[in-house]
Structure 1
Amino acid sequence: MRTTNKYFSPSLISASIAAIFVASPVFSQESDTSQTADAEEKIQVVGRRISETEIAIGTGEVTNTLAVTREALLSAPAGISGLKMLESLPGFNVQTDGALGLYEFGNSVNVRAFNLSQIGFVLNGVPMGRSDAFGGSPIFRYVDNENLASVVASPGAGDVSAPSYSSLGPIASYYSVAPSDEMGGLVSMTIGDDNLQRSFVKLETGDINGFKAYISRSKTDSDLWRGPGTIDREHIEGKAIYTFDQGTTLEFSYVANDFFDYDSPSSFA
């Protein structure tokens, strides 16, 4: 029998074991890095949160809006209310008691299936009053046609971007003109049936070192078109704007409205 003895060097065994222990962490790190890279490649963004109203409703996109331009407002007979100007828009059915439409309780507006109490009225971004007819305050209490820049109406429903008090029905937004950069004025006089007399006077300061303003006064006197009584209306408007710099302005508006429309007091005597 032949016996072969093999001798192993202790130093060689130690070196081999050390090599195993040193190499193992390297292999493990490479494996973890590979797995992490694979996991990062598999991450997908499937949606994002929308927190701004303008993005959610699509501001700047084509929507169903109608407008009365300033040219149309100035071409209308003097003294006609801003409410009556809506009758020129498709889908709006406006009925007024009288040619001027100034009698507050004799007006009605319908837009498709919506009536007057479901329509929101807004002036320069400010809702008119409360959830009532005309928003609680007829628009012609606050602005004359001569001082309107445009009227933008939305005949649809559910316009959540409009600053109406509570209506989710149609919205009629009125925008008044800004003071002119040039100094000047405007005077007009109108006469008509039923002893109608209306005057309008407007003065502009022009731009004075960043400050510009205007003030206007209209006076309407007339007999009622039906029955006894008279209409007596005096309306004063003023607006001032001061520009501090390109992005900072201060605006002040003033309105005074004294209106007596008889309201058939004899029927309650």
Structure 2
Amino acid sequence: MRRLIAGQGLVIAEQTPSMISLKVAPVEAPNDTASAATQDIIVLGQGQSRQVQSVSPRAMKKLTPGASPLRALGRLPGVNFDSSDARGTYEAATQLSIRGFLTDQMGYTLDGVPLGNMQYRNNNGLSINRALLTENNGTATLAQGSGALGTASTSNIGGTVDFTSIDPATRFGCRSRRKLRQR
């Protein structure tokens, strides 16, 4: 038995012919306190604590005019977007799946404001297709993995999708594609 528990942090507390009781081995304090204080901490990675990908406004412009920004997210690795219509705007028949997490398990925000659950016929959500005209879509950022405390959502178990809108024009009128490319 001693060979089985060697190196596991356990010791035999009590032993009878029919029973062996184990307990946690006492931790020995290091003799040299200076060596314990000078241990190095190694950090691998920087910036984000999870995988973050963005779809730029330029990439959104490659979609069919009027298409849902969710369709653009479908081009990212690990993301699957299914819809019954070509543009992805029919809410009753759209499904976003990100590494096995479905639409109602994701957190959605628009310019930092929570959209709630975007599942069809839900009483606490607003679809991005209703919240923002497709011509005003800015960058869409997808953070895969477990939910983040920095995202205002109650359903971000599978990650978050943050939509941004483009800045409003300083003058009344329409924007040409040339002006958008210059930005």
TM-score (norm 1): 0.44
Task: Give the letter aligned to residue 47 of structure 2.
Answer: E
Deviation larger for 118-127 or 161-170 = 161-170
Aligned match for 1:85, one of 54, 63, 72: 72
Task: Give the letter aligned to residue 75 of structure 1.
Answer: K
The verdict on how the C-alpha distance between 1:106 and 1:178 changes in structure 2, with shifts beyond 3 A counting, is same
CA-based RMSD:
2.4
Tell me whether 1:61 sits opposite 2:47 in the alignment: yes
Larger radius of gyration: 1
Tell me whether 1:145 sits opposite 2:134 in the alignment: yes
Higher helix fraction (1 or 2)? 1
Task: Give the letter aligned to residue 129 of structure 2.
Answer: F
**Structure 2 residue matching 1:72: 3-state secondary structure:** helix
**Structure 2 residue matching 1:133: 3-state secondary structure:** coil
Aligned match for 2:148, one of 159, 166, 191: 159
| Equivalent in the alignment of 1:133 | 119
CA distance in 2, matches of 1:116, 1:68: 18
TM-score (norm 2): 0.62
After superposition, the C-alpha distances for 1:211-257 in whole angstroms (9 at most, x for unaligned) are xxxxxxxxxxxxxxxxxxxxxxxxxxxxxxxxxxxxxxxxxxxxxxx
Tell me whether 1:169 sits opposite 2:158 in the alignment: yes
| Equivalent in the alignment of 1:112 | 99
Higher strand fraction (1 or 2)? 1
Task: Give the letter aligned to residue 175 of structure 1.
Answer: T
CA distance in 2, matches of 1:181, 1:132: 32
Q: Relative contact order: is structure 1 or structure 2 higher (C-alpha 8 Å, sep ≥ 6)?
A: 2
In the alignment, is the contact (CA less than 8 A) between 1:73 and 1:146 conserved in 2?
Answer: no
In the alignment, is the contact (CA less than 8 A) between 2:145 and 2:158 conserved in 1?
Answer: yes
After superposition, the C-alpha distances for 1:198-219 in whole angstroms (9 at most, x for unaligned) are xxxxxxxxxxxxxxxxxxxxxx
After superposition, the C-alpha distances for 1:44-79 in whole angstroms (9 at most, x for unaligned) are xx9xxxxxxxxxxxxx82341010001011221101
In the alignment, is the contact (CA less than 8 A) between 1:153 and 1:170 conserved in 2?
Answer: yes
In the alignment, is the contact (CA less than 8 A) between 1:127 and 1:165 conserved in 2?
Answer: no
CA distance in 1, matches of 2:56, 2:118: 27
Could you list the runs of 5+ residues in structure 2 that have no partner in the other structure? 1-36, 38-45, 178-183
CA distance in 2, matches of 1:82, 1:103: 13
CA distance in 2, matches of 1:125, 1:172: 10
CA distance in 2, matches of 1:166, 1:117: 7
State the identity as a percent: 28
